[in-house]
Amino acid sequence: MGAILVVDNEKSICDFLRIMLEKEGYEVLTARNGEAAAQMIRENLFDLVLTDIRMPRAGGIDVLETVNAISPATPVVIMTAYASAETAVEAMKKGAYDYISKPFNVDDLQLIIKNAIEKKKLYDENAHLKTALKDRYQFSNIVGKSAAMAKVFALVRKVAESNATVLISGESGTGKELVAQAIHYNGPRRDYPFVSINCGAMPENLLESELFGHERGAFTSADSVKIGLMESADKGSFFFDEVCEAPLSTQVKLLRVLQERRFNRVGGTRPITVDLRIIAATNRDVTEAVKNKTFREDLYYRLNVIPIRIPPLRQRKDDIPLLVNRFIAKYNDRHQRKGQIRGIDPEALSVLEKYHWPGNVRELENMIERAVVLEKKDIIQVSSLPEEIFDPSEKTEDFTRPFDQQQMVDLEKTLSGIEKKMIVGALARTGGIMNKAAKLLNLSFRSMRYRIQKYKIKGKFEIEET
């Protein structure tokens, strides 16, 4: 239930409150003056201090000041037989949670105590979550000893200390969001929200409503006001994942946010001002997107204040042993195999180091989780690795064969045929769920929908809500 310190110079009051609160399940200590209470506060952790305001040898205000100095999260409830506005106001100004007048109503006192302890527990839970988040997104969690990653680490550490806009680039699966989180949780906005959106993961008509919110009546189903993600991230950081997939109409509004830190809700006329750090990421070549007019040049320059490029895993194979050990520890714990998998066989590690890793760190993590689950020995063996990793060249078509007899090849038609087959295969694999199929192919939802229309692929397709 909680630990409570009762402070009152009257023994009868201390005894009464101790008996009453212990019946409620609380642990109770008592003190007869402020000096004794101060010593107990130094030596014990309390969820609540309940103190009389007038006592010889240090009164309730002195007890309150001691709590504020030693354990500021502990609520203090003041008891007074002198129910004057002055004493109550003084106590509340100095940080008391509440006060109650003697003789008090037992039910009222119990309710005040219950609410105060619940507040303390919420504070403790929030503090624990913040510590866990900070630990989770420490720089040490971005694993790598290679020269390429050393440069990334050095830049990320410098960037985190500022409020500068950052553009992170890198192939899918390299850990762009992890870097964005590390920047936020190690920077000046760490105590405020980190909110993200994948710009290619939802239809165009929903993206702006998610980002900016909407007013009641803005469209048919808008039966109430909705706070957008950017508004909810005020004073924190906003992460635009796959920003190049944002439609041009949305890009115009993002530019305004970057320039003025304000926007309108969909259907609204009142500008909403936000204080945000903007972090964006893309797995595409942004300069090529600008050249092709699919990404605004002025938005690119606004985002590209500090560019960070995350190298693909095939360019940092020195990091594979470190990553493997990190993932073994992670999935030992997650799958209740603590200490059972102690490492990886050198032959299996050699296979991993020779693989080209098209899915980067995410693919390696998935592979190690699979191995941890399947492995019967205490060391991951080659037999626990998937077949496709051993000779990936056998799984790809030989595109030199058509030229053996110097025959003509229609490259566009051939590529279109391959692309159509892969899209049909992905849709079949996901049961016609378009956004899942797009994810399998590392496409945005808009790109997937465009290709289905382009190749006139027939079928009943759906969008699964995430």
Q: Which of 212-216, 307-311, 462-466 has the lowest mean pLDDT?
A: 462-466
Q: What is the pLDDT of residue 244?
A: 93
pLDDT band at 276 (very low <50, low <70, confident <90, very high): very high
pLDDT band at 129 (very low <50, low <70, confident <90, very high): low
What pLDDT does residue 399 have? 54
Name which residue leads in pLDDT, 131 or 32: 32
Residue 136: predicted pLDDT: 58
If 0-12 CB within 10 Å is exposed, 13-18 middle and 19+ buried, where does residue 102 land? middle
- CATH code for 3-132? 3.40.50.2300
Torsion angles phi and psi, residue 279, rounded to 5: -125, 130
Q: Is it the case that residue 393 has pLDDT exceeding 50? A: no
Q: Quick: pLDDT tens for 77-111.
A: 998 876 555 677 788 888 899 888 888 888 999 99
Per-residue pLDDT tens digits for 22-61 = 998 999 999 998 889 999 998 888 999 999 888 887 888 8
C-alpha distances out from residue 101 to 9, 50, 85, 380, Å = 16, 12, 11, 68
The three-class DSSP label of residue 27 is: strand
pLDDT digits over 172-191, tens only? 899 899 899 989 988 899 88
Domain 161-310 sits in CATH at 3.40.50.300
pLDDT at 364: 94
- The per-residue pLDDT for range 252-263, each reduced to its tens digit, is 999 999 999 999
165 to each of 101, 160, 180, how far by Cα in Å?
A: 54, 10, 11
> Could you give the percent of the chain with pLDDT greater than 70?
90
pLDDT at 430: 80
Determine how many CB atoms are found less than 10 A away from the CB of residue 312.
Answer: 19
CATH number corresponding to 314-393 = 1.10.8.60
pLDDT band at 338 (very low <50, low <70, confident <90, very high): low
Distance of alpha carbon 319 from alpha carbon 328, whole angstroms? 14
Mean pLDDT of 388-406: 54
Who has greater pLDDT, 413 or 193?
193
pLDDT of 458: 81
pLDDT of residue 5: 95
Is 171 within 8 Å of 281 (Cβ atoms)? no
**Which residue is it, tokens 């040049």?**
297
Given a cut of 90, whether residue 369 has pLDDT beyond it is yes
Residue 183, both tokens: 């920047």
Burial class, 17, CB count within 10 angstroms (exposed 0-12 / middle 13-18 / buried 19+):
buried
Joined tokens for residue 276: 């945000």
Region of poorest pLDDT, from 144-158, 224-238, 334-348: 334-348
| pLDDT of amino acid 402 | 55
CATH topology of domain 410-466: Arc Repressor Mutant, subunit A (1.10.10)
Query: 363: how many CB neighbours lie within 10 A of its CB?
Result: 16
Strand-pairing partners, residue 273, are 262
The residues spanned by each domain of the chain are 3-132, 161-310, 314-393, 410-466
Do 3-132 and 161-310 have matching folds? yes
User: Would residue 260 be called left, alpha or beta, if left means φ above 0 and alpha means ψ between -120 and 50 degrees?
Assistant: alpha
| pLDDT of 465 over the 80 cut | no
